[in-house]
Amino acid sequence: MKKPLMRIPYTSPLPPPTPLPATARSLPGALAALQSFLLAPPARPDLSPSTVLLTGAGLSVASGLADYRGANGTYRVNATYRPIYYHEFLASHEARKRYWARSFLGWSSLRAAAPNAGHFAVRDLGRMGLVSAVVTQNVDSFHPRAHPEVPTLELHGYLRATVCTSCRGEFPREAFQGDLARLNPVWDAFLQEAIATGALATEDPHARRAAGIRMNPDGDVELPAAPYTTFRYPACPTCLGSPPRLANGSRARVEVDDDGAWSSTSNAGILKPAVVMFGESIPERVKVAAEEAIDGAGKLLVLATSMATYSAWRLAKRAMDRGMPIGIVNIGGVRGEDAFFAHLAPGQAGGQGVRVDMSTDSLLPALVEELRQSSLRGAGASPHKAVSQQNEGAIFKNMLQ
């Protein structure tokens, strides 16, 4: 039997990176190296000229979302923050109350957040024909929102839906939020006040703390000493209408109180976020699709992730084993990164591999601009003459052949 692929965080400190080539220490050097990387011909004739991206939480920081790790490789936001594990969520009604209460408070901030310039730069790289697909560990849906035309594989799922742990049916998170508000009027009043006073919107952790609020990744908001035990959440409507069969063949019990809140007398119909929780296995179809995204490209560019989860790291390993050049843009160390660059020829300009120790926020839009200028020079056009997006794509496709 194949070993299931689980989402497990890697919390050991990571060594600081060495920029590659050495010129990639400066912004112009990094831009030149990344251009060489994206435009280099395939490393082997059987590899595609296109690049697949593997992205992580750092890309969404400019959208106001929390990152898991800081530059020194430790959990950045709250040193004591520990995400809920799948087995806890499944096993404990109390753990689920706590999870959904915090998610209820976090959803409004997540919903108000939007893709940033980094995501739109990915869209532009796709339009240029340089990026064939994105594999992301992020659950914020920013990639599919920013570039629906560049396929995105969401390795760890998405927060925009809930999924039933019994029937696997999916439901929109937005409607679920309305159900939570209806079932928890006191919490809803608190949330409305927090929104009205801006306590949830502030970037300043001190201001949040003053309001008794702590923000964590994945739309999790913590209210120290809050009465989580009073929180109520709905049952899966499908399983409530038609209780599923249990593994032993008997009919499951799905019961709700007078208002429709899941009752602890139930043994099925539990909704969870449609994310792969820590300690949960990645669905086989997602695992296969991620591998196909890697295999469909000739290069891998890792953006804004330390690849702390094994599920992400093994995709980079797969790319390396296929002989694909690997580029990494991330502030701070990346798990096992030395192995990805051990074979680079001294003096290579970026075509064989790139390591940039910078934020993607301004780097990616600058890279798009540089590529546009190069395409103008390559096409022999006046640098003042605008190139349409269609032409732009054709020019880069020609350059890659």
Task: For Zn ion, give the closer residue by CB, 244 or 336.
Answer: 244
Is position 239 annotated in a ligand binding site?
Answer: yes
Could you report how far apart the first and last alpha carbons of the chain are, in Å?
42
Binding site for Zn ion (CB under 5 A): 164, 166-167, 236, 238-239
- 298 labelled ligand-binding: no
Question: In whole angstroms, what is the distance from residue 217 CA to residue 69 CA?
Answer: 10
Q: Residue 30 Cβ, how far from Zn ion at the closest point, in Å?
A: 48
Q: Of 240 and 394, which has the nearer Cβ to Zn ion?
A: 240
Residue indicated by tokens 């349409």: 388
Using CA atoms, how far apart are residues 337 and 318, in angstroms rounded to an integer? 13
Comparing CB distances to Zn ion, the nearer of 39 and 239 is 239
Q: Phi/psi of residue 300, each to 5°?
A: -125, 125
Q: Is 242 exposed, middle or buried (0-12, 13-18, 19+ CB in 10 A)?
A: exposed
Angle between helix axes 27-39 and 360-378 (nearest 10 degrees) is 60
> CB of residue 176 vs Zn ion: minimum separation in angstroms?
13
Nearer to Zn ion, 166 or 352 (CB): 166
Q: Is 93 a catalytic residue?
A: no
Residue 159: phi, psi to the nearest 5?
-85, -10
Which residue's entry shows tokens 């608190």? 190
Choosing from 119, 143, 147, 156, the catalytic residue is 156
CB of 300 to Zn ion, least distance (A): 37
CA pseudo-torsion sign 167, 287, 99, 63: negative
C-alpha torsion 275→163→251→262, nearest 10? 100
**Is 166 assigned a ligand-binding role in the annotation?**
no
- Minimum CB–partner distance for residue 252 and Zn ion (Å): 9
Strand partners, 362: none
Rounded to a whole number of angstroms, the minimum distance from the CB of residue 242 to Zn ion is 9
Shortest spacing between CB 270 and Zn ion, in angstroms: 8
What is the C-alpha to C-alpha distance for residues 14 and 133, in angstroms, rounded to an integer? 28
Q: Which is nearer to Zn ion, 29 or 237 (CB)?
A: 237
Residue whose structure tokens are 């080539």: 21
Does the annotation flag 204 for ligand binding? no
Could you give the CA distance from residue 181 to residue 189 in angstroms, rounded to a whole number? Answer: 9
Strand 157-164 vs strand 170-172: parallel, antiparallel, or unpaired? Answer: antiparallel
Specify whether the CB–CB gap between 297 and 132 falls below 8 A: yes
Q: Based on CB atoms, which residue is closest to Zn ion, 167 or 199?
A: 167
Q: Which residues are catalytic?
A: 156
* Annotated binding-site ranges for Zn(2+): 164, 167, 236, 239
Binding-site residues sit at: 164, 167, 236, 239
